[in-house]
């Protein structure tokens, strides 16, 4: 099993450009999450999807959109990138309602907006 995979690993954008971060999991989990981590800080939740077909805002959703494409894939889109969105982005997944408590995290995407 690959677990949670994220692409790309690194990205540099100019202010105003758009991009989509991709996340996929092969553990048959029903819940998926997007976090961002700024330098020296803990993770903050951007959006989550409790199950296929649903998405909800987290703590810091402004400037982002998400799509739960299917059970495996959950993408994060920046429509017009800003320097304040320079961060490391982590995707995670878990199995909601099954007694599984662990969230499994991907390796992260390091995004710089200039």
Partner 1 sequence: DAKTTQPNSMESNEEEPVHLPCNHSTISGTDYIHWYRQLPSQGPEYVIHGLTSNVNNRMASLAIAEDRKSSTLILHRATLRDAAVYYCILGRDYGGSQGNLIFGKGTKLSVKP
Give residues in contact with partner 1 (CB under 8 A): 4, 31, 33, 35, 40-45, 48, 58-59, 90, 92, 94-108
If the CB atoms of residues 64 and 90 are measured against partner 1, the closer one turns out to be: 90
| Beta-carbon count within 10 A of 84 CB | 10
Minimal CA–CA distance to 49: which of 73, 85, 77? 73
Nearer to partner 1, 17 or 96 (CB): 96
Q: Which is nearer to partner 1, 6 or 85 (CB)?
A: 6
How far apart are CB 47 and partner 1 at their closest, in Å? 11
Nearer to partner 1, 30 or 75 (CB): 30
To partner 1, the closest distance from the beta carbon of 34 in angstroms equals 11
CA dihedral (83, 75, 109, 25) in degrees, to 10, reads 160
Instruction: Return the bridge partners of 25, or none.
Output: 4
Minimal distance in Å, beta carbon 20 to partner 1? Answer: 19
Secondary structure letter of residue 71 according to DSSP: S
**Alpha helices for 8-52 (secondary structure H):** none
């Amino acid at each position: 099993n690959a677990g949670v995979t994220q692409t790309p690993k690194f990205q540099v954008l100019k202010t105003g450009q758009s991009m989509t971060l991709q996340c996929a999991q092969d553990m048959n989990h029903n819940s998926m999450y997007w976090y961002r981590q700024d330098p020296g800080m803990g993770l903050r939740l951007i959006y989550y999807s409790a199950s296929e077909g649903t998405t909800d805002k987290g703590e810091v959703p402004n400037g982002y959109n998400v799509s739960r494409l299917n059970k495996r894939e959950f993408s994060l889109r920046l429509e017009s990138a800003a320097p304040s969105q320079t961060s490391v982005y982590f995707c995670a997944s878990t199995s909601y309602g099954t007694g599984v408590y662990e969230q499994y995290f991907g390796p992260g995407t390091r995004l710089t907006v200039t």
